[in-house]
Amino acid sequence: MEMRQVIVKNFHLVSYNRFNSREDNDDNDEDNLANQSIRNISSGCNTSGSRYYRLSAVCLTLLCVLLISAVSVLWVKFNNLTTKNTDLQTHYSNLILEKEQLQTSYENLTFERNQLQIMYSNLNRDKDQLQASYNNLTVERDRLQTSYNNLTVERDRLQTSYNNLTVERDRLQTSYNKLSVERDQLQTSYNNLTIERDRLQTSYNNLITVRDQDQAKCKELANEMAKLQTNYSTMANQKDQLQKEKDEIQNRLREIAAQAKLGWVYFSFGLYFISTEKKSWTEARADCRKKGADLVIIKTKEEEEVLVKQLGNDKAWIGLNDRPVEGTWKWVDGTALTTAYWVPGEPNDSGNEDCAELWGLLDKQGWNDRPCNDRVRWICEKPFRTSQW
C-alpha cells in the first residue's frame, strides 16, 4: 500500500513536469524521471526488503513512463489541433465577415444596377420622344419652306396685280373727284381710302424689303422654277378674283354715289343716314327699316367719334335698349352689349329710361339712356349689298 502511494505520487509528479515543460520528444528528461522513480521505489523497497516489489515497481514505473509519454504526445497534438482549430475559427469568422460585406456590396450593386437600368430606360424613352419631335420638326420645316417658296412667287405676281389695281384705283379716284356735289359727304370715305392706301404702301415697301432680302436666294429658287410652274393656274384664278374685287370696288363707288343722293353718308364702317326729323325710338327704327337699314350699332370708338362729328351739337337715337330686361342692354340685332361709351354717370334709368341715344354735345359726348317715347333725331346704318365689303 505504501509502495503504491509512492508510485502514484511519482506518476503525478512526472505528469505535472511534462505538462509544464511541453517538450514533445525529450528522452533524456523521461530517463531522468524514470531513474528518479526507480530510486524512490528502490529506497522504499530497501525499507521493506522485498525483491519482488522492486521488480514490480520497476515494471510499473516503465509502464507509467510509457503512458506518460503517450499522454504527452497526445497532449501536444491536442494543443496543435486546438491552435489550428482556433486559427480555422478565426479564418472562418473572417470569411463570414467578408461574405457579409460582399453580400452588402452585392445588394448595393444590384440596387445601383436597377437604378441605372431605370435611368437607361428613361433615357431611351426620352431619346425616342426627342427623335420623334425632331422628325416632326423636320417635316414641318420642309413644309414651311415649300409654303415660303410658293408665297414668294405668289407675292411677286400679286405685286404686279397690285400695281395694276393702283393705276385703276387712281383712275376711279379721278372719276370720284368729279362728283363735286357729293364731295363733302364723300370726303371722309376718301380720307379712309387714303389711309388704306398708305397702309398698303407700307405693306408694299415691306414686301420690297423682303424681296431684296430674298434676292440672295434666287439662285436656289431657280432650280425649283419648273416645279412652281404648276402654280400658274392658281395665280390665274387669283387674278380673276382680283378682277372681281375691282369690279366690286366700282360697284361700291357707284352705290356710294347713289346713296349719297338720298342723304346717306359713307364711312369705312358702312353707309349711315342721320335724320333731320325727330321721332320716338320705335318710330325711328321703323323709318330705318323702310330704308332697308336699322338703327346704328356702334362697335368701335373710332366709329362713334365719326358719328359724333357728323351729328354736330345734337342728340340722336342708336340701336341700343334694355326694354325686355332692365339693366341688360342689347343691340337691335340681338347681340349683348360688350363695349360701351356711356357719358359719366349714365345709364341711371331716371324716369324709365330704356333706350340709348348718342350725344354730340360740345361738353358731353357719349351715350345716354332716355325714355323711348321722347322725340329726337336718329341714325340709320345700312350694310353694302356687295359680298366682299
Determine, yes or no, domain membership for 62: no
Report the pLDDT value the prediction gives residue 387, as an integer from 0 to 100.
39
Determine, yes or no, domain membership for 201: no
Determine, yes or no, domain membership for 181: no
Residue 232, pLDDT > 50, answer: yes
Report the pLDDT value the prediction gives residue 379, as an integer from 0 to 100.
96
Q: Residue 298 contacts by C-beta under 8 Å, 6 or more apart in sequence?
A: 304, 307, 318, 341, 358
**How would DSSP label each residue in 234-301?**
HHHHHHHHHHHHHHHHHHHHHHHHHHHHTT-EEETTEEEEE-SS-B-HHHHHHHHHHTT-EE----SH
pLDDT (mean) for 265-273: 82
0.85 surpassed by pTM:
no
Determine, yes or no, domain membership for 340: yes
**pLDDT-wise least confident of 171-175, 234-238, 305-309:** 234-238
Rounded-to-10 torsion of CA 154, 156, 161, 162: 110
Task: Identify the top-confidence range among 33-42, 114-123, 231-240, 346-355.
Answer: 114-123
CB contact at 8 A, 43 and 97: no
How confident is residue 255, by pLDDT bands cut at 50, 70 and 90? low
| Cβ-defined contacts of 220-224 (< 8 Å, 24+) | 221/149, 221/152, 224/149
pLDDT (mean) for 21-49: 53
Determine, yes or no, domain membership for 384: yes
Report the pLDDT value the prediction gives residue 230, as an integer from 0 to 100.
77
Determine, yes or no, domain membership for 146: no
Which residue would you say has higher pLDDT here, 49 or 118?
A: 118
CB contact at 8 A, 297 and 381: yes
Determine, yes or no, domain membership for 386: yes
**How would DSSP label each residue in 332-371?**
TTSPBP-S--BPTT----TTS--EEEEEE-SS-EEEEEE-
SS3 state at 161: helix
CB contact at 8 A, 52 and 41: no
- Of all residues in the chain, the percent with pLDDT exceeding 70 is 80
Residue 19, pLDDT > 50, answer: no
Handedness of CA 202, 208, 209, 211 (dihedral sign): positive
**pLDDT-wise least confident of 77-86, 222-231, 259-268:** 259-268
Give the C-alpha separation, 23 to 20, whole Å.
9
Report the pLDDT value the prediction gives residue 131, as an integer from 0 to 100.
93
pLDDT (mean) for 217-244: 75
Tell me the CATH number at 282.
3.10.100.10
Which domain, by its residues, includes 311?
A: 269-389
pLDDT tens across 288-297, in order?
A: 999 999 999 9
**68: closest CA among 20, 28, 12?**
12
Report the pLDDT value the prediction gives residue 37, as an integer from 0 to 100.
54
Residue 218, pLDDT > 90, answer: no
Residue 45, pLDDT > 50, answer: no
pLDDT tens across 342-370, in order?
A: 999 999 877 789 999 999 998 889 999 99
Report the pLDDT value the prediction gives residue 67, as an integer from 0 to 100.
93
Residue 386, pLDDT > 50, answer: no
Please give, one letter per residue, the 3-state secondary structure of 169-238.
Answer: HHHHHHHHHCCCCCHHHHHHHHHHHHHHHHHHHHHHHHHHHHHHHHHHHHHHHHCCHHHHHHHHHHHHHH
**311: closest CA among 358, 278, 268?**
358
Report the pLDDT value the prediction gives residue 118, as an integer from 0 to 100.
93
pLDDT tens across 186-215, in order?
A: 888 888 888 888 888 887 888 888 888 878
Which residue would you say has higher pLDDT here, 376 or 389?
A: 376
Report the pLDDT value the prediction gives residue 28, as an integer from 0 to 100.
57
Task: Identify the top-confidence range among 11-25, 144-158, 207-221.
Answer: 144-158
Residue 181, pLDDT > 80, answer: yes
Residue 47, pLDDT > 90, answer: no
User: Which residue, chain included where needed, has cell 511534462?
Assistant: 18
CB contact at 8 A, 306 and 267: yes
Residue 341, pLDDT > 70, answer: yes
Determine, yes or no, domain membership for 372: yes
| Total residues belonging to the chain | 389
pLDDT (mean) for 22-34: 52
Report the pLDDT value the prediction gives residue 371, as an integer from 0 to 100.
95
Distance of CA 97 to the CA centre of its chain: 52
pLDDT (mean) for 155-178: 88
Q: What total number of domains does the chain contain?
A: 1
